[in-house]
Amino acid sequence: MLKKNHEDKSCLLVVEFAANVVAKGTIMKYCASDENIEVMMETILQGKALIPIPLEEEFIVMVKDALRHILYWPRHLVIRYSDLSENDLFGYDSYTYLTWDDFEAVLTMDEMTCDIIVSYMMVLFNKMKYGPSERDHGICFVNPTLISPIMKSDTCYYLDSLISGNFNMQLKQIVDLEMVIYDTQSGSNKRPKLNWVNVTCPIQPGSSECGYYMLRFMKEIVKEGIEVLVKENIGDGKVEYTTDDIDEIHKEWS
């Protein structure tokens, strides 16, 4: 993940895979031939995460104990800010893989995994990236396994295919709190208050169609642009998606 720009010192520290950012740091010492990079941890994002190379003599094993400490971090798990790009799906190099079980789940209306959803995001992202250049969709994707603080707007559009008309207050409180914690830990003076908008959308008939409705929502947002959310109407007024609507998703996977 680390490229050749030695002047760039600010970085994200990840564990296991690129989407799992646990802290922000500063690169103290870097040599292209080294497997590990010397970094100072500046901001904690996931305090309970385990440090890849702990300071056992100082009993520093978790991220929450390593603030302002100099650590060695595996080179492939250090992402410089200058390496982040809007040309990548989540702002950084990302990948996933699918199994035959995933394809079977899509085609048989079984419950979807996050890998399926991320793969479909990749398809939609490429349509945006290589589509008409004159159109600004105003859309960015975030990893569905994370609450991402990287936002282009303070407005949060809420779509729930299970229940119409009401916010999930527990989810709303979690997201609001995470934004406050992130801004506090990052040292930002900004304290944004999210403007929550409940968007009218089709309601699924059962309990296992969540993933398919999510893919349809994303498909329509990418196709119509952010305007479809501003109008607060996904699905063009439909109470429920039709079989043909869902079959469009199936055909894209076949």
Distance of alpha carbon 83 from alpha carbon 123, whole angstroms: 22
The answer for residues whose C-beta is within 8 angstroms of residue 43's C-beta and 6 or more apart is 23, 24, 25, 185, 186, 187
Closest of 147, 152, 151, 150 to residue 173, by C-alpha? 147
Rounded to 10 deg, the angle between the 243-253 and 210-224 helix axes is: 80
Give the model's confidence band at 26: pLDDT under 50 very low, under 70 low, under 90 confident, else very high: very high
Q: Provide DSSP, 124-172.
A: HHHHHHTS-TT---------TTS-----S-SEEEE--SSSSS---HHHH
Distance of alpha carbon 130 from alpha carbon 179, whole angstroms: 32
Q: Which residue has the higher pLDDT, 51 or 83?
A: 51
The fraction of the chain above a pLDDT of 70, given in percent, is 74
Q: How many Cβ atoms are within 10 Å of 156's Cβ, its own excluded?
A: 15
pLDDT in tens, 133-189: 545 555 667 666 555 555 556 778 888 898 877 778 887 887 787 777 666 665 666
Distance of alpha carbon 10 from alpha carbon 42, whole angstroms: 9
What is the pLDDT at residue 52?
A: 94
Inform me whether the pLDDT recorded for 215 exceeds 50: yes
| Half-sphere exposure (Cβ direction) of 32: Cα atoms closer than 13 Å | 4
Where exactly are the structural domains of the chain? Answer: 10-83, 100-253
